[in-house]
Homo-oligomer: A and B are copies of this chain.
Amino acid sequence: MLNCAVVGATGYTGAELVKILLRHPRVNLVALTTRQVTSIPLQNLIPGISKKNSLEVRKFSFPEIQQKADVVFLALPHTEAMDLSAKFLRVGKIVIDLSADFRLRSSAVYEKWYGVKHQAKRLLPKAVYGLPELYRDKIRKADLIANPGCYPTAACLGIAPLVKDGLVELDSIVVDAKSGVTGAGKKLNPATQFCEVDENFYAYKVGRHQHTPEMEQVLSEAAGTDVRLTFVPHLLPLRRGILATIYLKKRAGVRASKVRESFEQAYGDEPFVRVLPDGEFPTLQKVQETNFCEIGFTSDPGSDTLIVVTAIDNLVKGASGQAVQNLNVRAGFPEEEGLLR
């Protein structure tokens, strides 16, 4: 049994993480904390818990976590994890950080896209990007795991094998992604009031979303050379899920069958990536409340465009489920533990 703490347990991501960990047979939840002052019975936060469960979300206390936990999950807004991560690492904890703070290798890129100074640059080289399908071996030994963004997870899983295997051009990738509203977090926001979202749909941060460099970093590492892409996110009038429609140019001479081979080779043994048969494409309902990424694809008839569609649950494979998958990899647990129906 591994003793785990969740710092920031009341946001959408934190609560989802607690929900998953509650059911994990090898995890002991030793501390759930929030920056809010009062303590909250976990039963008020998460539906479906036994009336006899006495767990509480309590005010954050470093000494308490230091004493009790082996692994610390940080589910905090960007920038708030930097300092804490360093402190927990210093006292020997494994840190799985769900914020963006340690995902980008370059602090300059981070500072450009997030508009704030990076306060823990020296930790960046130690951080491992927690996308198990691409970085599993490094995650096994990492003490600081930077859990990927939701959009980069959906996009990179649909693109990485293709750029790695040299099947597509690297200068004309388009990711048109659509996300549910939990992706925006629980913060009070006029744009996410019900009457503004319901029966509505729109693109936002067009070509300027901060997840763009994260995708480019992952894909460049997969390709072994620079990859640039165009990324446009949209807001869907629903709670959970990201669907990414990805447009790529096949390289000259690449046969259609190569694409399936590439995906099958990359994901045939992956527990949480499902490559769909020809003619099938993912839906959000098929991945909601699961840690799966589903991938469908086709060649556009009469052009050299390849269309790849991926879907994940932004709170699970796009955040908390992936964090638990990373925990399983790091702890040497079976990778599906706690993450299946």
Contact = CB atoms under 8 A, between A and B. Distances in A.
A206 B189 CA distance: 27
A202 B243 contact: yes
Interface in A201-227: 201-204, 206-208
A33 interface: no
A182 interface: yes
Contact of A238 (B172, B198, B288): B198
A284 interface: yes
A121 interface: no
A190 interface: yes
A207 B301 contact: yes
A341 B230 contact: no
Nearest to A19: B341
Interface in A140-178: 171-172, 174, 176, 178
Contacts of A47: 285-290, 292, 341
Interface string A175-202: 0101001100010111011111111111
Interface of A: 12, 19, 22-23, 46-51, 171-172, 174, 176, 178, 181-182, 186, 188-190, 192-204, 206-208, 228, 230, 232, 234, 236-241, 243, 245, 247, 249, 271, 274, 281-292, 296, 298-303, 305, 307, 309, 311, 336, 340-341
**Which 3 residue pairs across A and B have the least CB separation, nearest first?**
A48-B290, A202-B283, A194-B197
